């Protein structure tokens, strides 16, 4: 198994892996923001009949949305329990998704230029070497294909709202889910992509309202959560 992971993070996701589809459980905010994430992706590319890779798929919340939109979806994760939950939920959703317990680096090494769309959302802040993940995502992407990334900005507002408020005050996500030093500034993420044959097409902030339990895009505020769309050169 690829070494680009924190064992304690995998342990934490394994311990919560049975609760991915509990809409009042530890992953409830992912259910709340998922429609916005899907709409953001579809604003740049259609998904019908496209080969789509979901990197860090967890229990399959985004993967199922991508499949429901018509994509032929492969989901990767290193959490065995999360993948078991994802596979079990397919009996309920009646969707077809290829889930694999494999790192993106390992997968891309044998699946180069196989995907029209690669998504890596809310995952880069959980690995020691996010650049390695980005390189592998681009390796797996076809020329002309789309890469979608999202993460948390290493900004004081993200510390206040993304960790203190979300984990401790409002208990929206489990304590210890995020670590401020692993957050990535938008400028750093763009710099990681600049060295590759890819064009960054968009950067957009995402706001979450805990009162309405809903998310919205905000192009003027990238201080907390943000998304990035990039297209690989043809």
CB atoms within 10 A of CB 88: 14
66 is in an annotated binding site: no
Exposed / middle / buried, residue 49 (Cβ in 10 Å: 0-12, 13-18, 19+): exposed
Contacts 24+ apart (CB under 8 A), 87-91: 89/20, 89/21, 89/59, 89/60, 89/64, 90/60
For residue 135, say whether it is annotated as part of any ligand binding site. no
The gap from C-alpha 56 to its chain's centroid, in whole angstroms, comes to 6
Of the candidates 124, 121, 131, 104, which has an alpha carbon nearest to the alpha carbon of residue 191? 131
d(CA 207, CA 210): 10
56: annotated binding-site residue? yes
Report d(CA 214, CA 31) in Å as an integer: 9
Three-state secondary-structure class, residue 76: strand
Question: Would you say 207 is a known binding-site residue?
Answer: no
The residues that bridge with 137 in the sheet, in sequence order, are: none
Half-sphere exposure of 110 (CA within 13 A, CB side): 4
Q: How many CA atoms lie within 13 A of 21 on its CB side?
A: 19
The first and second tokens of residue 226, run together, are 């943000």
Q: Which residues are annotated as a binding site?
A: 37, 56, 77, 121
Q: Which residues are annotated as a binding site for S-adenosyl-L-methionine?
A: 37, 56, 77, 121
């Amino acid at each position: 198994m690829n070494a680009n992971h924190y064992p304690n993070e995998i342990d934490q996701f394994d311990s919560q892996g049975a609760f991915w589809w509990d809409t009042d459980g530890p992953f409830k905010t992912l259910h709340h923001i998922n429609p916005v994430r899907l709409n953001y992706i579809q604003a740049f590319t259609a998904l019908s009949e496209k080969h789509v890779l979901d990197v860090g798929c967890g229990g399959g919340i985004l993967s199922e949305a991508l499949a429901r939109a018509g994509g032929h979806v492969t989901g990767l994760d290193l959490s065995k329990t999360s993948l078991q939950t994802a596979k079990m939920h397919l009996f309920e959703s009646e969707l077809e998704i290829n889930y694999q317990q494999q790192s993106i680096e390992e997968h891309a090494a044998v699946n180069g230029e196989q995907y029209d769309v690669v998504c890596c959302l809310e995952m880069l802040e959980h690995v020691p070497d996010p650049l390695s993940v980005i390189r592998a995502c681009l390796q797996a992407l076809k020329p002309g294909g789309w890469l979608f990334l999202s993460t948390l900005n290493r900004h004081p507002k993200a510390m206040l709202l993304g960790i203190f408020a979300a984990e401790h005050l409002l208990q929206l996500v489990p304590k210890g889910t995020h670590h401020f030093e692993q957050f990535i500034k938008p400028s750093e993420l763009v710099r990681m992509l600049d060295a590759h044959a890819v064009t960054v097409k968009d950067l957009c902030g995402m706001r979450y309202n805990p009162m309405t339990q809903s998310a919205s895009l905000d192009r003027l505020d990238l201080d907390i959560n943000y998304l990035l769309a990039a297209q690989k050169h043809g």
